[in-house]
Every structure is written in structure tokens, then in C-alpha cells.
């Protein structure tokens, strides 16, 4: 594999996700065919059995999500991939993965919605659904990819976060990233940092599967390891047994949140471009971040002091990075292929400090660098 | 071999913080649980290798009490989680315990596909003809004309035969017992767990609290005794006309066939894929 990786590969985003998953140690995929995510399943159906892993096409996305949670509990790194309509169906067992703290990765290659919507058109309409789609109060990690290379590296990071914090991690791709082909130089698998869940080291009798260490994360035993324990979607105590005791319920919820807040510096990822002297800036994510970067570069050529903050982590929303920039700049442009699902987060963090300008497309068309370039020029305050 | 109940309790019930259980006095779930534990004991399955998955409902609580690797999943989805567990670690013994609404309404799609897929799994369905935990609403096995909290004018839909559904969907082994026929149930569960392939055991059980009372079927004892009168063997059922079989419960092994098992077929896929990869 290492020899092969020395020459660049011409890959589409979906294929790069597969490469990332395999390098990260994913050995189980369960899912259901759906455009524009199907290539991920197709490629994994070829690759996984060759490395001793398992691929299964289930009867629907509900089953796909259930199966990856089961596989992860049996000790295997697992993922599923889907698009809008399937993402609606996975929400039920995604909630289960949140409550039972089962590491797994869910890829949603976004297409136009709601419902069957626009199956082959790009959109970013599932951002708030990724955050709040499954019912009940819960923290969640949502990452967005914008290039083919991202699709590789962020997938590895998604597995690492899932394993380290015992959480499901959602990767939002979109139709543009998924189907764009780019030449990429993938790193040698040996050079990629891969994290694995911590296994219990105490004797089985002492094992408390939901006690949590200082970070709030509990070591995770696999079914069959000798650490017999109970896993449930009910709110549970340290042993995993259902509880309605208010103190235990509150403790449970707080620990789930705490383990994510403790990991903010690692989980919250952004890329900053031309921000040092910026007076204006753009906040963008996914394929739109590519258009935004080009627009910013073009505007810079004209002397416009504009920068770009690309969000890789959408949730937990990286407010620690964004807040100082909102203080630094006069205005921020938030382009999105939806009606404003991240701009509302920006406004929430902004609290009136800086002018927030939305730029939204909901017509199934990609936001081009040209339209953002013009939008940036309109934002320049008169001299 | 009779196994003293106390020995079973000491060996298989969890010793820490899961009791009292949620089941009503006289519930058939306990009989099913006892039969399952006796089957596990007789087959000498290691507790570490035993996985018990359930969905939601009264039956869903069974894993909580038992000292195995236990997995209380979402409503209707026990078989999907069980599929993931079994494929990820085929050495594990995986049993899914479900209710009638759980397995054949909300989980109906998973049930027929699990049967078709033929993984080496055991599915036990406790069929009490009602949604008990939510208060007595009609389920896919509530008989035509009967009373439930959502069919107070009489139920107008027809009931599924869970076992026939499993046979048609392709399960390798399908059997039915009632909670009256505890000895038979022991044997059927043992056979089901030994069976290589997807094995289904349907257990007709009493919910005298939510179903019996509304339909004037008496208390737990009356209902359990009625299964004795209604039960006919598979051999006997074959000689009867459909009209004669009306209102009867056919018990015994309804299907037992050998087919390729997808867990084992997948090992062959892995070998083929690895060989091709080597060549490339």
C-alpha cells in the first residue's frame, strides 16, 4: 500500500472517505443505497472483505445504523454513509449511540431537501438536523469536509474523536465534494495518527461501564471480552442499569456534555486564511469554503483586507475561535447552501459586535467564487 | 435433566441493582426467561460468549436482569443491532428477544430480512397479542373482533401468524410453543440455539392484565390453561382442515431446513477478496 501511495491518486470525495476510513481502522460498514453517497458503500463492499472487515447492505438506514452500533459494541470500528432521506431514518439509533456512548462514524453526503428533494444537487440543508436531529438534549460532534483531501483526513479524525470520546461523529459532505475528482497525495498509512478506544484494565468484577474517568470517558469493553455489562438506550447509572433517580439522571447528562467540553481544543477544528490583518471576513464550510477561498484571494489582489475562516467542526460550534475574529472585523459574510443554518450560530455568538451578512442559495446551485467576490466587494465600507 | 430454579437464579441473574423486575405477577415472560436460561445451561454456553439483545416493551427488559453481554436496543431494532454484533464477532452466541408488536409491527421489516438473510441468530418472540407496556393497544397479532384500548368497538384488522411469516421469509428453523408448554419450550429453545442459521421461536404468552381482562379471558392461570386446550401438534394440524384449525394453536417445529448461512458465506467472500487483492 505504501508504494502505491507515493504516486498521487485521482479520487472523488466519496472515495477519499473510504481511504480515510480504512486507514483509521474501520472494519465494518452497514448501510442502504442512496444518491449521492452510494459510492462509499460500493467501494467498501470491495475493500472491507479484502482486509478481513465486513460490509453489509441492510434493509433500510434504520437497520444500517443499528448494525454499526452492534458492531462497535462487539469491538469493531464501524461506519455508515447516507444522504438526506436516509439521514432522517438514522436519527433514531443515532440517539442510541449518543446515550449508550458507542463510537461510530456517520457520513451524510448532503443533497437538496426536504424529503426526496433534489437527489443530485448540492445543498447544506442538514446542518441543524445534524445538530438536533435525534430527539432529546445531547451533545454531538459534526465535521464538514470541503475537498477530496479533507475527505480523507477528516474521516480519520472523525474515527479518532469517536474512539477517544466514545461518541458518534457525523461527517457532512455534499454532492460537490463527493463527486469532484482531484489528484491527491495520500499519506502513508503508517504516518497517520490513529486512536483506539481505551479498554478496561480492571478485573471484570470492578468494571463500571459508565463511570467515566477524569475526562468523563469510560473505558469500553467489547462483547465477548469477559466484561459482561448492560447497554441500554434508557438513561442509566454507572453500571448501565436504567435509572430515574434525578441525581443520577443529571449526573449522566452532565458527564456526556463534560467529555465534549473537555475536548474542545482538540475537537473544534478550523482553518484560517488571511485573517491577521483582516477587516472583513468570510465564515464558510463544506464545498462553499473552496469558493470563498478563491473569492478572498481575488479580493486580496485588489487590496481588500478580507480573510476566511473555514469551519471544519460545525458542532460543538467553535465560538472560542470565532469570537475574537468578530471583535477584530467590521463585517462577516456567511455563505451557505441553505437559508442560514450556520449564520444563526454566528449571530448567536456575535451578540451584535459585528455586521453579519448572510448569503444563501436554496436553488440547488453551487455558490461560485465569482458571486462571493462581488458580495465581498459590496461589503467594503466607503473610504 | 432438571435444573433447580435456585441454581439458575444464582448463576444467571445479575446480583447487582436490577430488581424488582417490571413484569406483572403471573406474566408469561418469566416462563420464557426460565426456559431460555435452562437452554443456555444445557448447552453449556459461556456467559461471556452469550449476547442477549432486546427491543422495547415488557420483553425488552429481560436482558437487564441477566448476567450476559446484554443489549437493550430501540423499539423493533433488536435484530439490526444483533446483526452487527454477530457479523463483527461470529464467535458470539446472539439471541434476540422481542415482543409481537416489537418484532412484527415496528420491526417487521428487520424481522423478514433477518429471516431472509439467514445469519446464525436466534430470535424469540413472546406473542401476547397486545402492547402491554404502553397500556393495551392492539398489535399485529391482536385477533379480529377483540378489545384493546385502541379498538374498543372491536378490532377490524386481521392478525399475523408470526411463525408462518418467518417460514415464508426464509428462516432456517421455526417453532412455536406456549407458556403452558414449558417443557416443549425448553427443547425448542435448545434446538433453536443449536441450529445453524436464523432460528425463530414464537411463544404464545398471556397478558392477562392488558389483554385478558378486556377480553374476558380470566386471570393468568385461566389464560395459561386455555393454551393447553387450544394447542395441537404439527402432526395433528396437518390432518385438519383450515376450518378445524380455527382458534387452535399449532405447537412444535414448523420448519427445519439447512441453507447456506450468511456469516459463513461472508468468510468465503473475505477469502475471495483477499486473494484478488494479493494478485493485484
Domains A2-191 and A271-379 in one fold: yes
Per-domain residue ranges of chain A: 2-191, 204-265, 271-379
Regions of chain B where pLDDT drops below 50: none
Q: Is the pLDDT of residue A5 over 60?
A: no
Model pLDDT for residues B13-37, shown as the tens digit of each residue: 998 877 889 999 999 999 999 999 9
Q: How far apart are CA A72 and CA A167, in angstroms?
A: 11
Q: Where are the beta strands (DSSP E) in chain A?
A: 9-12, 28-31, 54-57, 78-82, 104-112, 118-122, 141-144, 168-174, 181-184, 230-232, 270-273, 280-284, 306-311, 313-315, 331-336, 355-360
Provide the residue range defining the domain that includes B253.
Answer: 5-279
Model pLDDT for residues A81-91, shown as the tens digit of each residue: 999 999 999 99
Q: Nearest by CB to A67, from B70, B84, B92: name it.
A: B84
Model pLDDT for residues A101-137, shown as the tens digit of each residue: 999 999 999 999 999 999 999 999 999 999 999 999 9
With contacts defined as CB-CB under 8 Å, which chain B residues touch A60?
Answer: 109
Residue A363's pLDDT is what?
A: 95
Query: Mean of the pLDDT values across residues A335-351?
Result: 97
Residue A6's pLDDT is what?
A: 73
Residue to test with chain B: of A4, A43, A49, A205, most B Cβ within 10 A: A49
Do the beta carbons of residue B169 and residue B92 sit within 8 Å?
no
CB contact under 8 A, B84 and A68: yes
Q: Nearest by CB to A71, from B16, B72, B87: name it.
A: B87
Q: What is the CATH number that goes with domain A2-191? A: 3.40.50.970
Q: Name the band, by pLDDT with cuts 50, 70 and 90, for residue A44.
A: very high
Model pLDDT for residues A226-260, shown as the tens digit of each residue: 999 999 999 999 999 999 999 999 999 999 999 99
Residue A380's pLDDT is what?
A: 86
Q: How far apart are CA A214 and CA A191, in angstroms?
A: 29
H/E run at residue B272:
helix B262-279
Q: Within 13 Å, how many C-alpha atoms sit on residue B143's CB side?
A: 12
Residue to test with chain A: of B68, B84, B112, B114, most A Cβ within 10 A: B84
Q: Is the pLDDT of residue A2 over 50?
A: no
List A residues 279-318 in contact with B (Cβ-Cβ < 8 A): none
Q: Any idea what the Cα angle at residue B18 is, between residues B212 and B77, rounded to 5°?
A: 65
Do the beta carbons of residue B179 and residue B203 sit within 8 Å?
yes
CB contact under 8 A, B80 and A231: no
Domain total of chain B:
1
- Give me A7's grid cell: 504516486
List A residues 11-50 in contact with B (Cβ-Cβ < 8 A): 27-28, 30, 46, 49-50
Q: What is the CATH number of the domain that holds B274?
A: 3.40.50.970
CB contact under 8 A, B74 and A223: no
Q: What is the CATH number that goes with domain A271-379? A: 3.40.50.920
CB contact under 8 A, A49 and B270: yes
Q: Is B47 on the interface with A (CB under 8 A)?
A: yes
Q: Is the pLDDT of residue A1 over 50?
A: no
- For residue A236, report the phi and psi dihedrals to the nearest 5 degrees: -135, 165
Amino acid at each position: 500500500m505504501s508504494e502505491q501511495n507515493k504516486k498521487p491518486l485521482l479520487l472523488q470525495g466519496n472515495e477519499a472517505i473510504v481511504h480515510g476510513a480504512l486507514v483509521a481502522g474501520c472494519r465494518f460498514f452497514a448501510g442502504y443505497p442512496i444518491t449521492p453517497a452510494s459510492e462509499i458503500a460500493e467501494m467498501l463492499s470491495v475493500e472491507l472483505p479484502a482486509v478481513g472487515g465486513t460490509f453489509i447492505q441492510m434493509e433500510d438506514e434504520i437497520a444500517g445504523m443499528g448494525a454499526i452500533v452492534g458492531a462497535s459494541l462487539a469491538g469493531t470500528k464501524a461506519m455508515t454513509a447516507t444522504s438526506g432521506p436516509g439521514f432522517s431514518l438514522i436519527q433514531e439509533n443515532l440517539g442510541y449511540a449518543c446515550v449508550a456512548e458507542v463510537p461510530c462514524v456517520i457520513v451524510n453526503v448532503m443533497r437538496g431537501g426536504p424529503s426526496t428533494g433534489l437527489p443530485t444537487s448540492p445543498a447544506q440543508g442538514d446542518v441543524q438536523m445534524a445538530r438536533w436531529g435525534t430527539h432529546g438534549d445531547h451533545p454531538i460532534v459534526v465535521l464538514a469536509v470541503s475537498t477530496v483531501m479533507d475527505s480523507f483526513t477528516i474521516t480519520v479524525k472523525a474515527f479518532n474523536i469517536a474512539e477517544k470520546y466514545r461518541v458518534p461523529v457525523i461527517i457532512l459532505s455534499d454532492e460537490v465534494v463527493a463527486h469532484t475528482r482531484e489528484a491527491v497525495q495520500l499519506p502513508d498509512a503508517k504516518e497517520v495518527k490513529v486512536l483506539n478506544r481505551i479498554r478496561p484494565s480492571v478485573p471484570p468484577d470492578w468494571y463500571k461501564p459508565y463511570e467515566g474517568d477524569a475526562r468523563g470517558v469510560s473505558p469500553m469493553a467489547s462483547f465477548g471480552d469477559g466484561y459482561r455489562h448492560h447497554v441500554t438506550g434508557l438513561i442509566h447509572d454507572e453500571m448501565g442499569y436504567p435509572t430515574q433517580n434525578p441525581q443520577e439522571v443529571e449526573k449522566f447528562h452532565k458527564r456526556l456534555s463534560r467529555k465534549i467540553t473537555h475536548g474542545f481544543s482538540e475537537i473544534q477544528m478550523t482553518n484560517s486564511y488571511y485573517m491577521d490583518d483582516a477587516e472583513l471576513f468570510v465564515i464558510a464550510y463544506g464545498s462553499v469554503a473552496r469558493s470563498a477561498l478563491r473569492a478572498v484571494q481575488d479580493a486580496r489582489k485588489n487590496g481588500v483586507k478580507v480573510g476566511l475562516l473555514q469551519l471544519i467542526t460545525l458542532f460543538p460550534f467553535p465560538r472560542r475561535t470565532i469570537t475574537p475574529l468578530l471583535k477584530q472585523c467590521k463585517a462577516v459574510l456567511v455563505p451557505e447552501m441553505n437559508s442560514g443554518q450556520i449564520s444563526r450560530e454566528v449571530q448567536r455568538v456575535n451578540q451584535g459586535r459585528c455586521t453579519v451578512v448572510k448569503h444563501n442559495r436554496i436553488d440547488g446551485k453551487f455558490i461560485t467564487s465569482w458571486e462571493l467576490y462581488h458580495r465581498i466587494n459590496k461589503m467594503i465600507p466607503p473610504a | 435433566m432438571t435444573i433447580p430454579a435456585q441454581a439458575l437464579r444464582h448463576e444467571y441473574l445479575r446480583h447487582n441493582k436490577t430488581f424488582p423486575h417490571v413484569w406483572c405477577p403471573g406474566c408469561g415472560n418469566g416462563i420464557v426467561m426460565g426456559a431460555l436460561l435452562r437452554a443456555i445451561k444445557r448447552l453449556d454456553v459461556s456467559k461471556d460468549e452469550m449476547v442477549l439483545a432486546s427491543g422495547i416493551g415488557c420483553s425488552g427488559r429481560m436482558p437487564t436482569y441477566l448476567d450476559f453481554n446484554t443489549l437493550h436496543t430501540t423499539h423493533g431494532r433488536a435484530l439490526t443491532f444483533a446483526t452487527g454484533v454477530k457479523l463483527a464477532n461470529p464467535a458470539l452466541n446472539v439471541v434476540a428477544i422481542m415482543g409481537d408488536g416489537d418484532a412484527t409491527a415496528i420491526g417487521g421489516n428487520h424481522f423478514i430480512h433477518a429471516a431472509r438473510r439467514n445469519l446464525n441468530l436466534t430470535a424469540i418472540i413472546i406473542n401476547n397479542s397486545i402492547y402491554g407496556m404502553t397500556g393495551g393497544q392492539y398489535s399485529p397479532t391482536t385477533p379480529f373482533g377483540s378489545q384493546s384500548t385502541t379498538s374498543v368497538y372491536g378490532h377490524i384488522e386481521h392478525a399475523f401468524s408470526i411463525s408462518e411469516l418467518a417460514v415464508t421469509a426464509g428462516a432456517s428453523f421455526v417453532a412455536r410453543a406456549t407458556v403452558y408448554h414449558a417443557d416443549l419450550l425448553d427443547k425448542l429453545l435448545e434446538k433453536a440455539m443449536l441450529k445453524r442459521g436464523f432460528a425463530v421461536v414464537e411463544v404464545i404468552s398471556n397478558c392477562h392484565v392488558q389483554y385478558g381482562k378486556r377480553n374476558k379471558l380470566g386471570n393468568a392461570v385461566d389464560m395459561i390453561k386455555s393454551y393447553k386446550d387450544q394447542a395441537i401438534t404439527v402432526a395433528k394440524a396437518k390432518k385438519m382442515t383450515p376450518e378445524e384449525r380455527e382458534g387452535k394453536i399449532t405447537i412444535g417445529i414448523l420448519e427445519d431446513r439447512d441453507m447456506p448461512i450468511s456469516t459463513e458465506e461472508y468468510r468465503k467472500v473475505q477469502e475471495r477478496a483477499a486473494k484478488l487483492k494479493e494478485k493485484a
